[in-house]
Chains A and B, each alone.
Chain A
């Protein structure tokens, strides 16, 4: 080559200089487990479906959500959203309204009639599912999608379990349950209503390869209370179940509810709506100790329910006509346990409703060899299998953490294990990623944005009607709410790493494709990792 005057070398590019050899530390892209996902009892990939909702693709978001949970519209109303309690955004302003976006997606799906993706090729296996509560419905859904024929036997007249016969409709409208159950049935799941299984071993003989039990806990616990007129002492489960019947239960003008859980709150609020002038909850301990969620207590108090803390009922049915009761004041001892004080008070009442928890009716499991129960709970292993091979169980009957969401999580876990078991394999869950803690984030990059509060039904209307209390988000604020998500631990394509690298050592692969490091030039400065807002880049030592 002819070179200009006084030039001795050909021009070259610095690309010949592989500065990657300087590196002692190496950046790597990682996915970390967002705390919301880690906390969701149904094992939802919340960050994953929010990512689609953020771009306004609600159908994709919904499809991603139902990979794990087939009941988003129900979830969006009934779930106590522990995910929000764990949300990293709490440390910035307020938690992301995960539950309200979930409900929005569930409602969109119903509105647009979205169906589940078609199941895998049929395996020819049949699985018996007992109980059409959230545990059974979820297990059946996943089994069907995995190619097995799920057949649900349900004792009641309608599907839903405690979601229908427990949770009041002002919190969970019944058309929502109907829509989400129907969508599961449309997958090909068979549902036999009014079919109580009295004997599991017998039922299995009808050509089933495995069984999932999700019979819930429906027998009300009683406490011994001397009562003149036993008719006036009712239990919460029956009262709430009665709400689904032809005529509402007769509770009278003054109703006393005994207990401190969410069920007690639901009964007391229901009594108000049925026209009771007074609805009083009597609870042994203090508000702080109450198992009911604080927001539900708050709602009940706003609706005019009153609560007597530190009180036990010693006698009921005292009056001629009604159910007047005697209450003894309690005081907390040094260990925080309530102790009787000898101070009594008589309360006028027309009825007393006991809300003291439920036990499971385990009679259908008599004579199943190897099956173990402890304190009325069926014991299962990590894959939800009982002591009898091929029989799995979940939901209220299999644990003390009794919520719709836990039941959904059990149903999913069991279905995956059953699928593996039917193939003579062991289900190995994917290894969990490292947690995306708040300290992993660079929150400088997120703009300030408060949580969108769902409209709360006018307080007056809600005292007398069974209309839904909590409103939903509309399209605009659902999008806003989704975009409050910090995408903890998972790349959301903000381009920061691509931009901040002083060495152009980050390759942008294009929309949805994320990024790649060019280790030929990356000097390992670690800037990309420091400036990644969501903590999706780790820095590891090079082997030198």
Chain B
């Protein structure tokens, strides 16, 4: 992929910064003057992946646009924990839309800026997976279809976390939520339902679609920066583990995202005009158990009688991703 790997400096491209690199080669997050778009004092849970992912993404977007950025934000954790009136953690111009209309609000802002001739000011829309893949999907598809000049960022934590962990169409199969309980013959969320919006976004043949995780900061920043260098409708879905909804220790949020990528459960790639152009390869392939086992939402798979059948089905989905997106180096 065109993300340039850094030559051997002890930690290569993997750490946030590196004292041995020239400043311009370091990540935005390594910068002492980073925007901290989402500042301290917010009320996200300990170790919240969404809070982290939002700062990563919006700081990168701020950096890429010379800090000329406005964000529209759907209802959801990100909005609730950041902005309990009259306080806010946002250090950028920011507007709270409804739960389901963020894409439309952003479209409106982009149109207004165009009318005013403010071409230097750019627009981002952001929301959770519920706000994006379910209730906001109509507005989003419209924004794609019209190719409006907005970067839409979806923070995917696999459920309606803010209202108490209900299922969304991005909740993975077998996961337990408040509405897909771990009871009955096929406990947890059903197989064969839900949708993978990055693929649907690609079907709209918009200029840019990408996925990312909070475990690969460099990749994430590269994608946001690249997206802000383009015009038209762009979409990035970032996997942001949620300690509360997933039942994982707050210290392991990044680890969980890394495992999702290394097992093939979450494919990390980018696509232009509907075609995949690059993927982030798996570095050390792992079986899906490594990813599932630490999460309480999958605890029912690892009881006295482990549900090997269900685990095998999840493994099959991961294998399919690996095949489809060519996540392994040739020959591995």
Q: Interface of A with B (CB < 8 Å)?
A: 9-19, 22, 54-55, 444-447, 449, 480, 483-487, 492-496, 498-505, 508, 510-511, 518, 520-521, 523-527, 529-531, 533, 539
Contacts and interface: CB of A to CB of B under 8 A. Distances in A.
A413 B18 CA distance: 36
B178 to A, nearest CB: 23
Interface of B: 8-20, 26-27, 29-30, 32, 36, 38-44, 46-49, 51-52, 55, 82, 85-89, 217, 243, 249-255, 258
Nearest to B49: A502
Given A10-B86, A511-B19, A524-B46, A447 B14 contact: yes
Nearest to B13: A447
Contacts of B89: 13-14
Nearest to B44: A502
B88 A11 contact: yes
Given A494-B18, A503-B40, A529 B251 contact: yes
A517 to B, nearest CB: 12
17 contacts: A9-B86, A14-B41, A16-B87, A445-B15, A447-B13, A449-B8, A495-B27, A496-B16, A498-B29, A499-B16, A499-B30, A502-B47, A502-B48, A504-B38, A504-B40, A527-B250, A539-B251
Contacts of A525: 46-47, 243, 250-251, 253
From A11, A22, A498, A503, name the one whose CB has the most chain B CB atoms within 10 angstroms. A503
Contacts of B41: 13-19, 521
A31 to B, nearest CB: 17
A485 B20 CA distance: 13
A15 B42 CA distance: 8
What are the nearest 7 A-B pairs in CB distance?
A: A495-B17, A499-B16, A526-B251, A14-B41, A447-B12, A525-B47, A521-B40
B16 A500 contact: yes
Nearest to A486: B10
A502 B44 CA distance: 9
Nearest to B10: A483
A498 B30 contact: yes
Nearest to B249: A526
Contact of B40 (A485, A492, A518, A533): A518
A108 B189 CA distance: 65
A403 to B, nearest CB: 30
Contacts of B258: 444
Contacts of B15: 445, 494-496, 533
Nearest to B243: A525
A10 B87 CA distance: 9
B40 A445 contact: no
Contacts of B12: 446-447
Contacts of A500: 16, 52, 254
Given A447-B14, A449-B8, A521-B41, A14 B82 contact: yes
A60 to B, nearest CB: 14
Nearest to A503: B40
A153 to B, nearest CB: 47
A494 B44 contact: no
A202 to B, nearest CB: 56
Contact of A447 (B11, B40, B43, B52): B11
Given A14-B88, A447-B14, A494-B17, 7 more contacts: A11-B86, A16-B87, A483-B9, A487-B10, A495-B18, A496-B17, A504-B55
Contact of B39 (A447, A499, A504, A531): A504
Nearest to A447: B12
Contact of A17 (B8, B52, B87): B87
A499 B249 contact: no
A527 B51 CA distance: 13
Contact of A12 (B44, B47, B87, B253): B87
A455 B202 CA distance: 54
A533 B251 CA distance: 14
A515 B88 CA distance: 26
From A14, A492, A500, name the one whose CB has the most chain B CB atoms within 10 angstroms. A14
Contacts of A494: 11, 15-19
Nearest to B32: A508
Contacts of A449: 8
Contacts of B87: 12-14, 16-17
A453 to B, nearest CB: 16
B10 A530 contact: no
Contact of A505 (B18, B40, B249): B40
B40 A14 contact: yes
